[in-house]
Amino acid sequence: MFKKFRNFLVGFIGAPLLRLLWRTLRVSVDDRGKLLCRASGQPVIYAFWHNRMLLLPPFHKSNLSGRRCICLISASSDGEMIARVVERFGIKSARGSSSRRGKEALWELAIHFENGTDVAITPDGPRGPRYNVQQGIIGLAQRTGAPIYPVSYTADRKIELKSWDRFLIPLPFAHCRVIIGEPIFVQRARTEGEFEMERKKLEDALLDLGGDVPLCSPLGVTD
């Protein structure tokens, strides 16, 4: 009963608080992959580390609202809280992880993708290890042929929770930079070694976004 009430409460107040935080932030966008130019067209996959998920719902609402999106979220109680919040931003959720309903959730994502919906995944979630890409997103990209856009953000004023992922929360009025990497096209892997190469390619791309580097000054929007 307590968990149900907690999930309801977080879902009820979490989204308004996140909207309020978003409005205080001074956000710039480094769109290296030209994702914002794809107002419509073929669906894509977004990949972002588990500790960088906070700003993605309001960013999507502000910049990609013309594109339908579904996010892979853990089937746990904590995942239920996250699902309630993201759905307030117009993002659907598929519930599953590597340890629970994983195959069913990926199947659901593939169906939504075939119907023209973007897919968002935290490839190191829900339990880590931190900054380690798991196999599910690679398998989905191989099956669908979708490009993966790595996404991250930085903040000059922030707090990091003492969780396994060091979850990052920008403080109000912080300077934030959302970084969108160039799309990654995963090749069909015939061997375990080839699959590992594709997994490592995405992992390196996410790490190369420099998400742990603090900003020193405000940034303008880049093309």
Interaxial angle between packed helices 102-114 and 135-144, expressed in degrees from 0 to 180 and rounded to the nearest 10: 30
- CA 18 to centroid of chain Cα atoms: 16
Residues 36-63 as b/e (b if ≥16 CB within 10 A, e otherwise) read eebeeeebbbbbbbbbbbbbbbbbbbeb
Residues 153-173 as b/e (b if ≥16 CB within 10 A, e otherwise) read bbbbeeeeeeeebebbebeee
CA count, 13 A, side-chain hemisphere, 64: 27
Task: Assign 150 to helix, strand or coil.
Answer: strand
> What pLDDT score does 6 carry?
64
**219 pLDDT more than 50:** no
C-beta of residue 66 within 8 angstroms of C-beta of residue 38: no
> What pLDDT score does 189 carry?
82
Mean pLDDT of 172-198: 94
- Antiparallel, parallel or unpaired: β 175-180 and 148-155: antiparallel
C-beta of residue 104 within 8 angstroms of C-beta of residue 136: no
**214 pLDDT more than 60:** no
Q: Which of 144, 141, 219 is nearest to 184 (CA)?
A: 141
Q: Report domain extents, the chain.
A: 2-208
100-119 pLDDT, tens digit each = 667 788 899 999 999 999 99
What is the amino acid identity at position 211? G
Span of 7-16, 81-90, 187-196 with lowest mean pLDDT:
7-16
In this prediction, residue 38 has a pLDDT band, given cuts at 50, 70 and 90, of confident
**222 pLDDT more than 50:** no
Among the ranges 6-10, 15-19, 127-131, which has the highest mean pLDDT value? 15-19
As given in the structure block, the two tokens for residue 8 are 């309801």
Q: Which of 140, 170, 137, 172 is nearest to 155 (CA)?
A: 170
In this prediction, residue 126 has a pLDDT band, given cuts at 50, 70 and 90, of confident
In this prediction, residue 3 has a pLDDT band, given cuts at 50, 70 and 90, of low
Average pLDDT, the chain: 88
